[in-house]
Amino acid sequence: MSKISAPRSNREFIEACVKAGDAVRIKQEVDWENEAGAIVRRACELGAAAPFMEKIKDYPGFSYFGAPLSTYRRMAISLGMDPASTLPEIGKEYLARTNGEPIAPVTIDRKDAPCKENILLGADVDLCKLPVPLVHDGDGGRYVGTWHAVVTKHPVRGDVNWGMYRQMMFDGRTMSGAVFPFSDLGKQLSEYYLPRGLSCPFATAIGLSPLAAMAACAPSPIPEPELVGMLSGEPARLVKCETNDLEVPADAEIIIEGEICPDYKVEEGPFGEYTGYRTSPRDFRVTFRVNCITYRNNATMTISNMGVPQDEGQLLRSFSLGLELEKLLRSQGIPVTGVYMHPRSTHHMMIVGVKPAYTGIAQQIAQLAFGSKLGPWFHMVMVVDDQTDIYNWDEVYHAFCTRCHPENGIHIYRNTTGTPLYPFATPHERKYSIGSKVLFDCLWPVDWDKTNDVPTLVSFKNVYPKDIQERVLANWTTYGYPEVK
């Protein structure tokens, strides 16, 4: 593999984005209450440059970086690629890097770790000292964690997890968050800590390198510290926490250390979510007690503002969920051409292209997809053939509307795992994470006669002889049409 030169920290990333015209420096003072959130939201809805807000009301010395990865250009920059790279190119690069050998992180000395430049302990610990934004008006609170990683470790197996699970400031020493039962942290808590009544040490890292953030929200089975190494082509640099045994990215902007309480819950939410709604209501959720805060000089807090498309919740999760499913299907020998989730589906629909090699291949794909670790996050799988361009919604939609038989092509799976965030789910289903799923099989049945039963696709590319196609293309402008790019 050629040497990767990806931004190694949030700061290097901001620099690279500014240079490419993909971030703007905002010099005038911005209010942490709604104004910063509204800027980020508008930037997301316009697909605009990421706002780097250098002056925050009440919080001299702190800054915000919003919408860090809400465009494919910024995703390309984060991977050290040409910003103009296409989505299939970015996808290919992700697959190439994450199919290699895991790269273990290294631990560095705390005196070399920028995140230790300021340390708050004991009575000094107060989340109100950080510029925690009110991201959307009407949210249940100010959110500390919107683009971050919650670091934990399984006390017996020792595996480390970095996950992006939203965290609300309840008071100066308490946060609450939505940790779904099927997430890695949710499973750690229900399997180990809760039954024993033990508190679970955690560390929240904010202002990560973009690839560390990408790893924290990727549904990969590879432990995230190693995944970052693979994505960036070099070991992640970690440093020991002040008050527990966990290790955190040394160049993160802000670290919040503490413990998850097994026996104490405070309210969390509502919050603007990736589906484009506030769906999960206020409720008592997982509660984090804060024991220590460390941060860099001139720390930058990262903000993701989830809502209608498109933000990093949709863009990045669609990207990694699709590619992780592609890996899974290939590992089972299924002849897929690719897997794509359109960000506008708010990662609810998997579009899978496959060579229709045998009967039931679409159902096999759907069962693997829904049955995998990825399954709770989407409820629709659409399978099209290998002639259909999965990235071209016009082609996929045409295939769906013409080839999916209303009785034989639609398969419903009941009583599966859902999330409390599905806007269409009943309140009861949301409360218990009950899901249901649907497969849209848009393949011609294998037992149809290819010549006499399967309709012929009537398109320029499919029905005209090659020489006619070439002649028409060559003469297109002489006919009087403008050139087609």
Partner 1 sequence: MNQWEVFVMDMAELAEGKDIEISIRTLNPGVQKYTYKHVRAQVSSSLDKFPDKLQVRMGRGQLSAAKFSIKVIEEIRRLPPQYS
Ligand X SMILES: Cc1cc2nc3c(=O)[nH]c(=O)nc-3n(C[C@H](O)[C@H](O)[C@H](O)COP(=O)(O)O)c2cc1C
Which residues of this chain interact with partner 1, rule CB under 8 A? 33, 58-59, 128-129, 134, 136-142, 169-172, 174, 199, 259, 261, 263-264, 266-267, 270, 278-279, 281-282, 289
Closest CA to 215 of 177, 249, 251: 249
Give the Cα separation of 413 and 363 in Å (integer). 11
Among 36, 164, 323, 369, binds ligand X (CB under 6 A): 164
Q: Is 460 helix (H, G, I), strand (E, B) or coil?
A: helix
The nearest distance, CB 278 to partner 1, in angstroms, is 5
Taking the least distance from each CB to ligand X, the nearer of 22 and 224 is 224
Taking the least distance from each CB to partner 1, the nearer of 263 and 467 is 263
- How many C-alpha atoms does 87 have within 13 Å on its Cβ side? 18
Taken as a whole, the chain contains a residue count of 485
Contact 168, 421 (CB under 8 A): no
Give the Cα separation of 161 and 174 in Å (integer). 21
Check residue 71 for interaction with ligand X (CB under 6 A). no
The stretch among 75-83, 183-191, 258-266, 459-467 that binds Mn ion (CB under 5 A) is 183-191
Taking the least distance from each CB to partner 1, the nearer of 169 and 218 is 169
Among 304, 310, 346, 433, binds ligand X (CB under 6 A): 304
Crossing angle for the helix pair 361-371 and 312-331, to the nearest 10 degrees? 120
The nearest distance, CB 153 to Mn ion, in angstroms, is 12
Check residue 312 for interaction with ligand X (CB under 6 A). yes
The nearest distance, CB 217 to ligand X, in angstroms, is 4
**How far is C-alpha 204 from the chain's CA centre?**
17
The stretch among 64-72, 159-167, 235-243, 264-272 that binds Mn ion (CB under 5 A) is 159-167
Q: Between 201 and 220, how does the x/- string for binding to ligand X read (CB under 6 A)? A: ----------------xxx-
Among 269, 313, 353, 356, binds ligand X (CB under 6 A): 313
Check residue 324 for interaction with ligand X (CB under 6 A). no
Among 180, 295, 400, 440, binds ligand X (CB under 6 A): 180
Check residue 184 for interaction with Mn ion (CB under 5 A). yes
Whose tokens are 């992780």? That residue is 324
Check residue 251 for interaction with ligand X (CB under 6 A). no
Check residue 65 for interaction with ligand X (CB under 6 A). no
The nearest distance, CB 208 to Mn ion, in angstroms, is 15
Among 22, 139, 184, 257, binds ligand X (CB under 6 A): 184
The stretch among 20-28, 67-75, 154-162, 427-435 that binds Mn ion (CB under 5 A) is 154-162
Identity of residue 480: G
Identity of residue 230: M
Identity of residue 232: S
Beta strand 237-240 pairing with 160-163: unpaired
Give the Cα separation of 123 and 98 in Å (integer). 43
Taking the least distance from each CB to partner 1, the nearer of 193 and 413 is 193
Secondary-structure percent of the chain, ordered helix, strand, coil, rounded to 5? 30, 25, 45
Check residue 166 for interaction with ligand X (CB under 6 A). yes
The nearest distance, CB 48 to partner 1, in angstroms, is 25
The nearest distance, CB 220 to ligand X, in angstroms, is 8
Taking the least distance from each CB to ligand X, the nearer of 236 and 362 is 236
Check residue 341 for interaction with ligand X (CB under 6 A). no
| Sign of the CA dihedral running 41, 46, 49, 53 | negative
Contact 20, 12 (CB under 8 A): no
Check residue 433 for interaction with ligand X (CB under 6 A). no
Taking the least distance from each CB to partner 1, the nearer of 128 and 454 is 128
Give the Cα separation of 1 and 343 in Å (integer). 29
- Eight-state DSSP code of residue 243: S
The nearest distance, CB 304 to ligand X, in angstroms, is 4
Structure tokens at 375: 């399954």
In DSSP notation, 181-230 reads TTSHHHHHIIIIIHHHT--EEEEEEES--HHHHHHHT---SS-HHHHHHH
**Site of interaction with ligand X (CB under 6 A):** 146-147, 161, 163-166, 177-180, 183-185, 217-219, 304, 306, 312-313, 317
